[in-house]
């Protein structure tokens, strides 16, 4: 059998039409799924933001003060006092590697990431000569926050 | 002693050879020439070309030497071809090698990878029309997918005796992509279209790259379960690459493993093209249909890109449609070459990689569908 | 771990490079995970590797314990790998877990030597960064944070 007759006999047209349709459907679905992935990841990454937003009204009810140092985790806030003592002992401006070294020797946990948090929330800021100083304003805010928490 | 010498001489290749062996050895030398001198897909053509030489040395029958004689070295190695072991392993390596980010950045380009598969089904119809039975027609059609492992995978399932000619046709045309595609691309596009500059793809996050192989695998294999061996390995390889924590495995998959399997596959596929199997009228038909399949696949991709442009706000350069015919990354490079010939400042390579990679997925799905239909 | 062209293109150091140039660099760059406290370079040691930050936070300290911190994607560590004296002038420590791209200095120099246009583009940017960091190395003062 040859020609169109052979195609019809073996249901070639049906196989081809269904086949190419399935290929298209598969890749359209995959394309759709792929186009959603980054949006879903975006939502997932911002979940803490949404969570905080949903928490806000509750905070208002409790009449707690607005957080002045929003990016500093609580455990880091707690150890800030110990770091402050080390800085006072070294004197300002102080070299950052020395603070790192001392905090490690004193057994403070995760000194590297803690110092990083301090820098990011600007509790520790660079002086103009490659050394660092404590930012008094942020320090006061942290103290205030801690007092409020302990009184609560 | 004289008898011994005569017997020995009568058993040498010189005495056993006929004109068909010589023709096949010449074919092997041409393929080696293309691989070595022209550098067309040398990693594939050199093993295949030398395999053809190995397979066409005339040897005494039942001496345990030939690839089709059970117990021979070549027969053992050929087991990986006939039992579909090598193609999924190559897909594992391809997955561990390939960066899917351009595809993830602009998923709409994946449709071009689907459009190019029209070539497979058109050729399937063409092969039926000239008298091939459906299982062989399906195996011939898959040449248009421009994916050697996929072509071997399907042929081993549906028409094992055609593995040699189909694999050689598929790999030869893949190697000849820079020759076959440009005239078709130029014919179907205007200069204005070839000058279209596509905007930079967005940055794709690491998380997206890690999630994609899992989502892609689940989606594709739920839709076309027969694609499991190929796509399972492809997406697994890609997960190894992207998840960062198993770099040793990813490196092995994309270097040592894929190299070893390519050597074994290439040599045995080459050796399977023995004159009595290869030099037939069928093979001429397979080669002719293979070229037709490639041309249709290229044209389908380009035309579909032009159709998409009617609806898209951000226009795509129709040349990238030609990359839908897998042949990673050769056809993407051809797109870049043709695009730059018009405008040296136009960089289409990364845009072409998207349909190029989706073409791999598309051709594996097409193979799975054909396999399913033929097994019903 | 290898990287991809898109990641490189997003980095300031390679932003001006075309696709072909990025393609040359991609195989030379390798991804590396770093953990908090890990030392990437030590002052005075031969500079064999330079690093580009993809994520994480790092501290670079120089003589007299002067230091600055790096927090942004694309910031570079180990510039001495490609400029004199080919010895690290500072110590780099990871303050948090992170991901960096690293390139062996030898490979980078070979690349720069084999493609002078590409080399020029990259070296211009590197020289700019070196001049910004010079006060920390020499004892003057410079920018507050990078």
DSSP string of C46-94?
B--EEEEEEES-EEEE-GGG-EEEE-STT-EE-GGGTSTT-B-SSEEEE
Please check whether residue A61 lies inside any domain of the structure: no
| CB-based burial label for A82 (10 Å; 0-12, 13-18, 19+) | middle
Nearest CA in chain C to A104: C37
| Residue B309, CB-side half-sphere exposure with 13 Å CA sphere | 19
Higher pLDDT, A41 or B158: B158
- B-chain residues near A32 (CB < 8 A): 107
Give the model confidence (pLDDT) of C90-123 as tens digits.
999 999 999 999 988 877 776 765 666 777 778 7
Closest to B271 measured CA to CA, from B354, B163, B362: B163
Please check whether residue A57 lies inside any domain of the structure: no
The pLDDT of residue B10: 79
The pLDDT of residue C114: 61
Are residues A147 and A79 part of one domain? yes
Residue A129 token pair: 């000569």
Higher pLDDT, B220 or A106: B220
Asked if the model's pLDDT at residue C143 lies above 90, the reply is: no
Angle at C120 between CA C118 and CA C126, to 5 degrees: 105
Confidence label for B140 from pLDDT (cuts 50, 70 and 90)? very high
CB B253 within 8 A of CB B96: yes
Closest to A115 measured CA to CA, from A127, A131, A105, A103: A103
Are residues A85 and A27 part of one domain? no
Asked if the model's pLDDT at residue A109 lies above 80, the reply is: no
Give the model confidence (pLDDT) of B157-168 as tens digits.
999 989 989 998
Look at B244 and C5 and tell me if their CB atoms are within 8 Å.
Answer: no
- B-chain residues near A3 (CB < 8 A): 129
Q: Distance from CA of residue C61 to its chain's centroid?
A: 15
Nearest to A30 among B131, B137, B216 (CB): B216
- Tell whether A91 lies on the interface with C, counting CB pairs under 8 A: no
Q: How many residues does chain A have?
A: 152
Please check whether residue A126 lies inside any domain of the structure: yes
Rounded-to-integer distance, Cα B221 and Cα B110, Å: 17
Given phi > 0 = left and psi -120 to 50 = alpha, else beta, which region is C74?
A: left
Asked if the model's pLDDT at residue B229 lies above 80, the reply is: yes
Are residues A103 and A36 part of one domain? no
The pLDDT of residue C132: 82
Rounded-to-integer distance, Cα B11 and Cα A14, Å: 53
Token pair 């071997």: residue? B152
CB C9 within 8 A of CB C65: no
CA-based nearest distance A122→chain B, Å: 28
Residue ranges of A 123-142 with Cβ closer than 8 A to chain C: 125-126, 128-132
Please check whether residue A8 lies inside any domain of the structure: yes
Look at B347 and C19 and tell me if their CB atoms are within 8 Å.
Answer: yes
Are residues A83 and A32 part of one domain? no
Look at B244 and C33 and tell me if their CB atoms are within 8 Å.
Answer: yes
Q: How many residues does chain B have?
A: 376
For the ranges A55-64, B97-106, C38-47, which has the lowest average pLDDT? A55-64
Please check whether residue A146 lies inside any domain of the structure: yes
- A-chain residues near B311 (CB < 8 A): none
Look at B203 and C33 and tell me if their CB atoms are within 8 Å.
Answer: no
Range of the domain at A9: 3-45
Confidence label for C28 from pLDDT (cuts 50, 70 and 90)? confident
CA-based nearest distance B254→chain C, Å: 11
Closest to B115 measured CA to CA, from B297, B318, B320, B314: B297
Residue C31 token pair: 């991804």
- Range B168-184 average pLDDT: 89
Q: Distance from CA of residue A88 to its chain's centroid?
A: 31
Residue ranges of B 345-364 with Cβ closer than 8 A to chain C: 347, 349-350
Token pair 């136009």: residue? B346
Asked if the model's pLDDT at residue A152 lies above 70, the reply is: no
Are residues A79 and A39 part of one domain? no
* Domain definitions of chain C by residue range: 32-138
- Tell whether C128 lies on the interface with B, counting CB pairs under 8 A: no
Look at B131 and A6 and tell me if their CB atoms are within 8 Å.
Answer: yes
Rounded-to-integer distance, Cα B32 and Cα B74, Å: 20
- A-chain residues near C94 (CB < 8 A): 112
Number of folded domains that form chain A: 2
Give the model confidence (pLDDT) of A43-74 as tens digits.
887 777 777 766 655 544 444 444 444 456 66
B144: DSSP letter? G
Rounded-to-integer distance, Cα B249 and Cα B140, Å: 35
- A-chain residues near B207 (CB < 8 A): 41
CA-based nearest distance C25→chain B, Å: 15
pTM, 2 dp: 0.68
Are residues A136 and A95 part of one domain? yes
The most confident of B171-185, B356-370, C131-145, by mean pLDDT: B356-370
Are residues A145 and A101 part of one domain? yes
Rounded-to-integer distance, Cα A138 and Cα A121, Å: 8
Please check whether residue A93 lies inside any domain of the structure: yes
Q: For residue B359, give Cα distances in angstroms to B95, B142, B147, B298, C53.
A: 13, 12, 9, 11, 34
Q: What is the CATH number of domain C32-138?
A: 2.60.120.10
Q: Chain-wide mean pLDDT for chain C? A: 82
Are residues A38 and A80 part of one domain? no
Q: Distance from CA of residue B329 to its chain's centroid?
A: 11
Please check whether residue A56 lies inside any domain of the structure: no
Rounded-to-integer distance, Cα B101 and Cα B172, Å: 29
CB B273 within 8 A of CB B52: yes
Closest to B193 measured CA to CA, from B66, B309, B50, B331: B309
Look at A130 and C145 and tell me if their CB atoms are within 8 Å.
Answer: no
Please check whether residue A21 lies inside any domain of the structure: yes
């Amino acid at each position: 059998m040859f020609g169109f007759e052979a195609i019809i006999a073996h249901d070639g047209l049906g196989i081809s039409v269904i086949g190419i349709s399935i290929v298209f459907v598969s890749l359209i679905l995959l394309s759709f799924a792929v186009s959603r992935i980054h949006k879903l990841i975006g939502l997932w990454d911002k979940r803490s933001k949404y969570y905080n937003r949903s928490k806000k009204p509750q905070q208002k009810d409790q009449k707690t003060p607005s957080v002045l140092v929003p990016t500093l985790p609580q455990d880091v806030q707690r150890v800030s006092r110990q770091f402050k003592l080390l800085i006072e002992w070294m004197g300002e401006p102080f070299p950052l590697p020395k603070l790192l070294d001392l905090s490690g020797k004193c057994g403070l946990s995760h000194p590297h990431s803690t110092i990083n948090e301090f820098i990011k929330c600007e509790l520790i800021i660079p002086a103009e000569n490659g050394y660092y100083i404590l930012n008094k304003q942020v320090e006061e805010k942290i103290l205030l926050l801690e007092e409020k928490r302990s009184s609560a | 002693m004289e008898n011994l010498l005569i017997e020995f001489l009568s058993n040498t290749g010189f005495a056993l050879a006929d004109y068909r062996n010589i023709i096949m050895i010449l074919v092997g030398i041409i393929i080696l020439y293309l691989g070595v001198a022209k550098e067309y897909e040398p990693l594939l053509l050199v093993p295949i070309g030398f395999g053809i030489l190995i397979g066409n040395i005339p040897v005494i029958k039942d001496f345990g030497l030939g690839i089709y004689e059970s117990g021979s070295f070549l027969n053992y190695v050929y087991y990986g071809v006939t039992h579909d072991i090598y193609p999924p392993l190559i897909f594992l390596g391809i997955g561990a090698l390939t960066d899917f980010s351009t595809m993830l950045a602009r998923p709409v380009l994946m449709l071009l990878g689907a459009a190019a598969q029209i070539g497979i089904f058109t050729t399937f119809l063409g092969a039926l029309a000239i008298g091939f039975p459906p299982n062989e027609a399906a195996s011939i059609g898959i040449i248009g997918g421009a994916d050697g492992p996929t072509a071997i995978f399907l042929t081993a399932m549906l028409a094992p005796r055609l593995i040699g000619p189909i694999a050689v046709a598929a790999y030869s045309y893949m190697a000849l992509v820079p020759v076959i595609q440009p005239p078709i691309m130029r014919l179907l596009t205007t200069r204005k279209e070839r000058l279209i500059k596509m905007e930079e793809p967005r940055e794709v996050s690491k998380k997206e790259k890690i999630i994609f192989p899992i989502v892609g695998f689940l989606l594709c294999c739920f839709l076309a379960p027969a694609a499991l061996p190929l796509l399972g390995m492809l997406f697994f390889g890609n997960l190894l690459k992207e998840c960062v924590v198993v770099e040793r495995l990813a490196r092995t998959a994309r270097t040592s493993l894929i190299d070893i399997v390519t050597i074994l596959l290439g040599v045995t596929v080459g050796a399977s093209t023995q004159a009595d199997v290869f030099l037939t009228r069928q093979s001429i038909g397979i080669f002719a249909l293979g070229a037709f399949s490639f041309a249709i696949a290229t044209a389908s991709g380009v035309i579909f890109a032009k159709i998409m442009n009617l609806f898209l706000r951000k226009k795509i350069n129709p040349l990238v449609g030609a990359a839908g015919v897998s042949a990673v990354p050769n056809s993407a490079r051809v797109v870049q070459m043709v695009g730059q010939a018009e405008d040296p400042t136009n960089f289409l390579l990364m845009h072409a990689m998207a349909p190029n990679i989706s073409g791999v997925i598309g051709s594996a799905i097409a193979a799975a569908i054909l396999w399913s239909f033929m097994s019903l | 771990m290898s990287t991809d062209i898109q990641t490189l293109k997003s980095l300031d150091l390679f932003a001006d490079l075309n696709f072909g140039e990025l393609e040359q660099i991609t195989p030379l760059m390798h991804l590396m995970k770093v953990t908090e406290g890990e030392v990437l370079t030590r002052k005075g040691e031969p500079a064999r590797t330079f690093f580009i930050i993809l994520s994480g936070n790092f501290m670079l300290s120089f003589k007299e314990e002067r230091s600055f911190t790096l927090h942004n994607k694309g910031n570079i560590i180990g510039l001495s790998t490609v400029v004199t004296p080919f010895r690290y002038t500072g110590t780099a420590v990871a303050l948090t877990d992170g991901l960096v791209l690293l390139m062996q200095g030898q490979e980078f120099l070979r690349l720069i030597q084999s493609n002078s246009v590409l080399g020029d583009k990259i070296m211009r940017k590197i020289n700019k960064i070196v001049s910004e960091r010079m006060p920390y190395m020499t004892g003057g003062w410079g920018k507050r944070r990078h």
